């Protein structure tokens, strides 16, 4: 998953926008700069699933960030439907039974299944509050190993854990890192963040960047600056 040398294919722009019209405007503005887009809950539930199909039809790559988790049969059926959409990546929570069901359902397709380890908005106290006995780093590495054994296509983790995850999953699995913030950018609700260049050097295959691009006064310039930093770090 890291064979792409064109950093435009390794930057995933998060379309964390309120509706399809706003997302369409962002994609138009980024035409020729960005090729890969993330659609999460906010946009998905505002017509974004049909928009995802439109992006695929237009030759764009789509990262569908649904973080699936349910009983095995329901996960499998959901994945079977998503395979038909033609998207490039899909997230699910890194629970072994759910991962095994998803891998079986996606077998023979080009869909890259990504295991979400620990959300980048969570720190150690957040995990304690949620009932976990592990710190974020330990839990991320445990789930990365489970994802590898289940046959997943990649991992979603903080860039601060990318180097350790890369050592576990090897060179071929995707390591997708949200929580990317260019130097001087506001952290927002993220707690475990890293700059684009540092994330590439740490072993990230793909960077997910939303607000620093879509909320920028000049989206094209913001995306181009991030791509240039990624290229310089490769």
Active site residues: 65, 67, 70
Find the largest Cα–Cα distance for the chain. 46
Mapped onto helix, strand or coil, the DSSP state of residue 133 is coil
- pLDDT over 60 (residue 189): no
Q: Does 8 carry a binding-site annotation?
A: no
Backbone angles phi, psi at 38, to 5 degrees: -100, 135
- When the candidates are 3.30.200.20, 3.40.50.300, 3.40.50.620, 3.20.20.70, the CATH number that belongs to 7-233 is 3.20.20.70
- State pLDDT tens for residues 84-119: 999 999 999 999 999 999 999 999 999 999 999 877
Out of 22-26, 187-191, 209-213, least confident range: 187-191
pLDDT at 119: 74
Rounded to an integer, what distance in angstroms lies between the CA atom of residue 175 and that of residue 161?
Answer: 10
Helix or strand holding residue 221 (H, E): helix 219-233
- pLDDT over 60 (residue 188): no
- pLDDT over 70 (residue 80): yes
Q: Does 12 carry a binding-site annotation?
A: no
Domain ranges of the chain: 7-233
Mapped onto helix, strand or coil, the DSSP state of residue 194 is strand
pLDDT at 192: 52
Q: Does 120 carry a binding-site annotation?
A: yes
Q: In sequence order, what are the residues at sequence separation of 6 or more whose Cβ sits closer than 8 angstroms to the Cβ of residue 103?
A: 113, 150, 151, 152
> Average of pLDDT values for 60-82?
97
């Amino acid at each position: 998953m890291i064979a792409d040398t064109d950093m435009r294919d390794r930057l995933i722009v998060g379309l964390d926008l309120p509706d399809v019209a706003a997302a369409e405007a962002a994609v138009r503005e980024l035409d020729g700069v960005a090729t890969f887009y993330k659609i999460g809950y906010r946009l998905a539930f505002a017509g974004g699933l049909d928009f995802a199909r439109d992006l695929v039809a237009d030759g764009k790559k789509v990262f569908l960030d649904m973080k699936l988790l349910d009983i095995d049969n329901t996960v499998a059926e959901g994945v079977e439907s998503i395979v038909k959409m033609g998207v490039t990546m899909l997230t699910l929570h890194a629970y072994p039974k759910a991962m095994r069901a998803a891998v079986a359902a996606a077998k023979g397709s080009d869909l890259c299944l990504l295991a979400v380890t620990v959300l980048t908005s969570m720190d150690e106290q957040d995990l304690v509050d949620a009932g976990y006995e592990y710190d974020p780093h330990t839990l991320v590495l445990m789930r990365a190993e489970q994802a590898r054994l289940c046959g997943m296509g990649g991992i979603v983790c903080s860039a601060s854990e990318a180097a350790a995850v890369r050592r576990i999953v090897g060179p071929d699995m995707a390591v997708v890192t949200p929580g990317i913030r260019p130097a001087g950018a506001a952290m927002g609700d993220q707690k475990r963040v890293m700059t684009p260049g540092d994330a590439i050097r740490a072993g990230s295959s793909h960077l997910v960047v939303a607000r620093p691009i879509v909320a920028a006064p000049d989206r094209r310039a913001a995306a181009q600056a991030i791509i240039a930093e990624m290229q310089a770090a490769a």
